[in-house]
Structure 1
Amino acid sequence: MLCVRGTTYRFGHIVPSSLRTALNRRKIWFSLKTGYQNEARKRASLLHTRT
């Protein structure tokens, strides 16, 4: 999931139900450290494959 917070894009990934109690989270957010949508999509795609 890609979203904008202020002027910076962020990538959100849903935590699997088996890990939610250990991490105490339903979703993890990563800053993509860019304000450009095309660059954010590229970085989000790389993060999606890693997670």
Structure 2
Amino acid sequence: WRNMKLAREMTDREQIDMIQFNKAGRGPIQKTYSYNPVAAHLKKTEAQKR
């Protein structure tokens, strides 16, 4: 009985992982910064060149 429960939990976890993976791959890019760090860096380097 215990093995059946564990096997069921493992398959459930695999399905949940696959759903989350597909959502992450097909969904919009998640914003992690309040500003664009690349743009800020480019502005600094352009200002230093002048």
TM-score normalised by L of structure 1 = 0.30
Higher relative contact order (CA 8 A, sep 6+): 1
> 1 or 2, which has the higher helix percentage?
2
Larger strand proportion, structure 1 or 2?
A: 1
TM-score by length of 2: 0.30
